[in-house]
Amino acid sequence: MPDSKPLAIGQNGMPVIIFGAASVGQAIFHACREAGITVDAFCDNNANLARERRFDLEIIPARDLKRRFPEADIIISCADIADVVRQLEEMGYSRWHPCTELLRNFDIYPYSYLKPHDFVAHTVAAALLCQDSYTTPDKLFLRCVDLMITEKCSMKCKDCANLMQYYENPVNDDTAEMLRSIDRFCSVVDEVNEMRVLGGEAFMNKDAHIIIKRLIDVPKVKKVVVYSNATIVPNKEQMAAMRSSKVLFFITDYGSLSRNRDRLIKELESNQITYISSPASNWTDCGQIYEHHRTEEEQKHIFGTCCVKNIFTIAGNLLFHCPFSANAYRLHAVPDFKGDYVDFSRSDISVKHELVQFVRHKEYIDSCDFCNGRTHGNPEIVPGIQTLVTLKYEKYAH
């Protein structure tokens, strides 16, 4: 690790760049200002952000950074720091810095951001935890794990990245099996920063609160994020089960389709459950399933640049690298690629080793060849367009 003391950043006239222009990057900007560090620009893998500015600074696409700033002190905001370090070193930069020293004791609340303060606090905490864990590589630490508790959704978005538009007879996952799966998974890993409970629409599963409560009770899980499209208001018992400082309720706001949004927010507020409501945005065309016949190099590229490749997803007793891979497997929309998941239901010691290899060392998964990919900067599409029919796809025997 290079010297990460904030005071070493920007010395001798070295330009200072913040890598990542989202909430954590914005917090770093404020922390730099408080520490007397002048930031020269932001940089981001999402080239679409080049149209915007942050605090009157430009956001340089990563591909242009070396041309603009051949040398720089680069402060990394991303939780997935290993990916960014690899990227920067390939670009020829050695003066990179984690954001931990700057943000560890920094009070984010007095400053302005594009997102609500609670959300910023949540992402900063995640970045700190993830970047700290980078220095303890023997631990099996996961930043983010999706727990899919139902295939059912109260909406049918034709471009759903989780592929709900393809389920002909969607079902809820069995609660008892899911609780066993949580216990088993948490007995193998060392820490999960954030477990995200979702479907489909999580509350299509009437037992959602039982599963959420189990996650709240597991100390290794630091945060439980519940996703909802605000069509269903959880009942009293369900709300009570979610009353915990570990819970963050995330509402994706689809405008008039999120018909119970106001009522849901009222209930969340009266139960003192922290929530964020954010419009559906930044959708790209990643809900299609077909074989692309990419070369191995192309597979590595599509995986390497994918923004959800580390949104690990639990479906049953299997851990997948991303929601697309998990749902494509469940739908039989891809062949049974054995290397695309780890079955963690075994009780032998090799499971942890297998998970470490899977989490840290995959260069791509075979399912990527059936996916359009989710590269930052891909053209955006209109989110939440509904389809009345279940979409068709080619099925493979498993």
**What number of chain residues touch ligand SF4 (CB under 6 A)?**
26
The residue from 157, 192, 216, 242 that contacts ligand SF4 (CB under 6 A) is 157
> Taking CB under 6 A as the criterion, which residues in 190-209 touch ligand SF4?
199-201
- Give the β-pairing of 318-320 and 312-315: antiparallel
Nearer of residues 93 and 320 to ligand SF4, judged by Cβ: 320
**Residue in 16, 75, 29 with CA at minimum distance from that of residue 55:** 29
Rama region for 302: left / alpha / beta (φ>0; ψ in -120 to 50; rest): alpha
> Taking CB under 6 A as the criterion, which residues in 300-319 touch ligand SF4?
302-303, 306, 308-309
Which of the stretches 32-40, 66-74, 126-134, 364-372 binds ligand SF4 when contact is defined by CB under 6 A?
364-372
Task: Kindly state whether residue 321 participates in binding ligand SF4, applying the rule CB under 6 A.
Answer: yes
Task: Kindly state whether residue 156 participates in binding ligand SF4, applying the rule CB under 6 A.
Answer: yes
Instruction: Provide the minimum distance between the beta carbon of 69 and ligand SF4 in the complex, in angstroms, as a whole number.
Output: 29
Task: Kindly state whether residue 374 participates in binding ligand SF4, applying the rule CB under 6 A.
Answer: yes
Nearer of residues 202 and 241 to ligand SF4, judged by Cβ: 202
Instruction: Provide the minimum distance between the beta carbon of 76 and ligand SF4 in the complex, in angstroms, as a whole number.
Output: 21
Residue 300 CA to chain centroid, in angstroms? 20
Nearer of residues 124 and 302 to ligand SF4, judged by Cβ: 302
Nearer of residues 133 and 229 to ligand SF4, judged by Cβ: 229
Which of the stretches 70-78, 138-146, 150-158, 388-396 binds ligand SF4 when contact is defined by CB under 6 A?
150-158
Which of the stretches 26-34, 36-44, 129-137, 148-156 binds ligand SF4 when contact is defined by CB under 6 A?
148-156
Task: Kindly state whether residue 96 participates in binding ligand SF4, applying the rule CB under 6 A.
Answer: no
The angle, 0 to 180 degrees and rounded to 10, between the axes of the packed helices 23-34 and 117-134 is 80
The residue from 75, 322, 333, 391 that contacts ligand SF4 (CB under 6 A) is 322
Task: Kindly state whether residue 368 participates in binding ligand SF4, applying the rule CB under 6 A.
Answer: yes
Task: Kindly state whether residue 246 participates in binding ligand SF4, applying the rule CB under 6 A.
Answer: no
Task: Kindly state whether residue 325 participates in binding ligand SF4, applying the rule CB under 6 A.
Answer: yes
Instruction: Provide the minimum distance between the beta carbon of 249 and ligand SF4 in the complex, in angstroms, as a whole number.
Output: 15
Task: Kindly state whether residue 68 participates in binding ligand SF4, applying the rule CB under 6 A.
Answer: no
The residue from 371, 377, 378, 391 that contacts ligand SF4 (CB under 6 A) is 371
Q: Which residues of 149-188 are buried (b: 16+ CB within 10 A; e: fewer)?
A: bbbbbbbbbbbbbbbbbbbeebebbebeebbebbeebbeb
| SS3 per-residue string spanning the chain | CCCCCHHHCCHHHCCEEEECCCHHHHHHHHHHHHCCCCCCEEEECCHHHHHCEECCEEEEEHHHHHHHCCCCEEEECCCCHHHHHHHHHHHCCCCEEECHHHHCCCCCCCCCCCCCHHHHHHHHHHHHHHHHHHCCCCCCEEEEEEEECECCCCCCECCCCCCHHHCCCCCECCHHHHHHHHHHHHHHCCEEEEEEEECCCHHHCCCHHHHHHHHHHCCCECCEEEEECCCCCCCHHHHHHCCCCCEEEEEEECHHHCCCHHHHHHHHHHCCCCEEEEECCCCECCCCCCCCCCCHHHHHHHHHCECCCCCEEEECCEEECCHHHHHHHHCCCCCCCHHHEEECCCCCCHHHHHHHHHHHHCCCCHHHHHCCCCECCCCECCCCCECCCCCCCCCCCC
Nearer of residues 95 and 196 to ligand SF4, judged by Cβ: 196
Indicate the length of the chain as a whole number.
398
Task: Kindly state whether residue 164 participates in binding ligand SF4, applying the rule CB under 6 A.
Answer: yes
Strand partners, 225: 196, 248
Task: Kindly state whether residue 155 participates in binding ligand SF4, applying the rule CB under 6 A.
Answer: yes
> Taking CB under 6 A as the criterion, which residues in 220-239 touch ligand SF4?
229
Nearer of residues 83 and 190 to ligand SF4, judged by Cβ: 83
Nearer of residues 342 and 365 to ligand SF4, judged by Cβ: 365
Instruction: Provide the minimum distance between the beta carbon of 339 and ligand SF4 in the complex, in angstroms, as a whole number.
Output: 13
Nearer of residues 271 and 390 to ligand SF4, judged by Cβ: 390
Nearer of residues 66 and 156 to ligand SF4, judged by Cβ: 156
Residue ranges binding ligand SF4 (CB under 6 A): 153, 155-157, 160, 162, 164, 199-201, 229, 302-303, 306, 308-309, 321-322, 324-325, 365, 367-368, 371, 373-374
